[in-house]
């Protein structure tokens, strides 16, 4: 297969990441199916597309024709079989739980055409933990977008030991076609590239907070006004999801037994109160006034 042969993209999971990745693919001319197991999530994703595209026309970023074409390119379905049946490239963006992803990839392996590449957008689960759930491990790869996927340019393409050169190259080229700036990661490593750097910052920020050295607001201010970061680690955590941080930290702890990977008590409290950040209206900060 060549990148030019990719016409149909299937995005599995219509949450935080999936709804934006599928919108992006549709805008860039791919016939896109977006699927999720929850009706409400799919409806929300569809409502987003119906508002986002006209908004881009109003801002002069898309012509009316481009927006109309993008709308025609995307469809939403709860039926995974239907979503995957014609896919040349699948991008999985479901919950960050390895067993869920393994089961899904085993299903996708049966449902998607045999030439299709199956990519995971996982933030931390390397594709070799998933690939052997399929009969096409050489076509299973990490393709890691950043949040918000419509805006952030970086895509990390990770070539695990089982991934063929062709799969890695096509994935890299597809990221370019999706108007992204891909980087090649030659070996599987926890957290890939940028999240390892972010994790080092977050760990230090959490330690400063837990030791009572500074408030999270001031730690964020220091990063923004001293280091020129667009936002501090706590504000960023609200954007990416406290639930995701919690799950990732617990998965890392289960895998390594390293207690320093455990989430800090103030994050755990928020997680169990259901305060996941922007998406629930509250996290480290309060968004209840924000429409
Ligand atoms: N949130 C981020 O900032 C971010 C950034 C980069 C990568 N990621 C990765 O993207 C993936 C999704 O993260 P998210 O933040 O979008 O999560 P999310 O919780 O917002 O969305 C996940 C969606 O997957 C759906 N789902 C669960 N099981 C499914 C299945 N078997 N089939 C179809 N849909 C299913 C859920 O209903 C949910 O809507 C994770 O692997 C995460 O590590 C997240």
Dist. CA 57 → ligand 1 center (Å): 28
Q: Is 105 in the pocket of ligand 1 (CB under 6 A)?
A: no
Q: 3-class secondary structure for 52-107?
A: HHHHHHHCCCCCHHHHHHHHHHEEEECCHHHHHCCCCEEEECCCCCHHHHHHHHHH
Q: Which residues of the chain form CATH 1.10.1040.10?
A: 195-280
Q: Is 17 in the pocket of ligand 1 (CB under 6 A)?
A: yes
Catalytic residue among 8, 144, 237, 249: 144
Q: Which atom of ligand 1 is nearest to the CA of 35?
A: 33
What is d(CA 134, CA 70) in angstroms, rounded to the nearest whole number?
32
Q: Measure the CA angle with vertex 72, ends 111 and 157; round to 5°.
A: 55
Each residue of 139-151: pLDDT tens digit? 999 999 999 999 9
Residue nearest to atom 39 of ligand 1 (CA): 15
Catalytic residue among 16, 22, 123, 245: 123
Each residue of 218-244: pLDDT tens digit? 999 999 999 999 999 999 999 989 999
Residue nearest to atom 26 of ligand 1 (CA): 94
Each residue of 248-280: pLDDT tens digit? 899 889 989 999 899 999 999 999 999 999 999
What is d(CA 141, CA 168) in angstroms, rounded to the nearest whole number?
7
Each residue of 56-100: pLDDT tens digit? 999 999 999 999 999 999 999 999 999 999 999 999 999 999 999
Catalytic annotation present for 144: yes
Its CATH class, for the domain covering 3-185, is alpha beta
Q: Tell me the CATH number of domain 195-280, given options 3.40.50.720, 3.30.465.10, 1.10.1040.10, 1.10.357.10.
A: 1.10.1040.10
Q: Is 91 in the pocket of ligand 1 (CB under 6 A)?
A: no
pLDDT of residue 257: 94
205: phi > 0 → left, psi -120 to 50 → alpha, else beta; which? alpha
Global confidence as pTM: 0.87
pLDDT of residue 291: 56
Q: Which residues of the chain form CATH 3.40.50.720?
A: 3-185
What is d(CA 197, CA 283) in angstroms, rounded to the nearest whole number?
22
Catalytic residue among 8, 73, 122, 195: 195
């Amino acid at each position: 297969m060549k990148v030019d042969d990719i016409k149909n993209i299937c995005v599995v999971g219509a949450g935080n990441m999936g709804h934006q990745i599928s919108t992006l693919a549709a805008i860039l001319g791919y016939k896109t199916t977006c699927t999720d197991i929850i009706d409400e999530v799919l409806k929300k994703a569809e409502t987003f597309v119906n508002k986002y595209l006209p908004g881009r026309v109003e801002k002069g970023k898309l012509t009316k024709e481009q927006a109309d074409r993008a709308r025609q390119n995307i469809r939403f379905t709860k039926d995974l079989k239907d979503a995957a049946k014609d896919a040349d490239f699948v991008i999985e963006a479901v919950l960050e739980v390895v067993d869920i992803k393994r089961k899904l990839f085993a299903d996708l392996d049966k449902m998607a055409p045999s030439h299709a590449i199956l990519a995971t957008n996982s933030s931390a689960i390397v594709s070799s933990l998933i690939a052997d759930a399929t009969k096409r491990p050489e076509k299973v790869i990490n393709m890691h977008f950043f949040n918000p996927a419509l805006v952030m340019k970086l895509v990390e393409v990770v070539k695990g030991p089982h991934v063929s050169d062709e799969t890695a190259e096509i994935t890299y080229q597809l990221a370019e076609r999706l108007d992204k700036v891909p980087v090649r990661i030659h070996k599987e490593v926890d957290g890939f590239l940028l999240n390892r750097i972010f994790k080092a910052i977050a760990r230090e920020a959490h330690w400063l907070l837990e030791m009572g050295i500074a408030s999270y607001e001031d730690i964020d201010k220091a990063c923004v006004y001293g280091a020129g970061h667009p936002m501090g680690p706590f504000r960023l955590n609200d954007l990416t999801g406290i639930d995701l941080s919690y799950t990732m930290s617990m998965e890392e702890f289960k895998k390594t037994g390293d207690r320093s990977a455990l989430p800090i008590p103030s994050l755990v409290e928020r997680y169990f109160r259901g305060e996941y950040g922007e998406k629930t209206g509250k996290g480290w900060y309060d968004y209840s006034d924000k429409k």
